[in-house]
Structure 1
Amino acid sequence: MKREYQTLLNGIFVCGLPALNSALENENVSIVIDLRAEARETENSIINANRINIPLIDGESNQAILLHDAIKHVVNAYHEGKHVVIH
């Protein structure tokens, strides 16, 4: 079976929206860092995970604070032993 998501580190995964359900089902993910600016507050695909939306916009300047916030959430989850998906 081909996985449609990638492992960055043990417990940290990255994928697009089409592969999110697969990652959630297979990897015991507890936190989803959603970087999509177009994301809606309630996503049907995120059921058993805490969703944090940090909207990064292509071509937009001055997003360093948002990127730092996303990284902070991933690092904290990693240190807490939680599995996280970035998408």
Structure 2
Amino acid sequence: LEGKGFANVEQLVGAGVGKIVPAEQLNRSTLVYPKFDQSRCIGCGRCCISCEDGGHQAITLRKGKPVLDAARCVGCHLCRLVCPMGAIGVSRRIPKP
């Protein structure tokens, strides 16, 4: 909080409301795949577990490192949220296959 200039949690209430857009305005014709930094990855498998729990099964571990199956990935980036090492970034936005 301090790093973002907030004195308390109450100041965050409603902060994101202005960023909500109607579903019709979402860009659904493109996709951004996760990008794995293999040098930072510790092979914990949290990305695989989150992807399986999300119903996509787009990430597998090979030799302890994540490998993406782009045909299954929907670009939800749940894997990025659970990575304890910050080893998952984003690629460029591309048209959906």
Q: Same fold (TM over 0.5)?
A: no
Structure 1 length normalisation: TM-score?
A: 0.27
Task: Compare the two structures and name the one with the higher helix fraction.
Answer: 1
- Structure number with the bigger relative contact order (C-alpha 8 A, sep ≥ 6) is 1
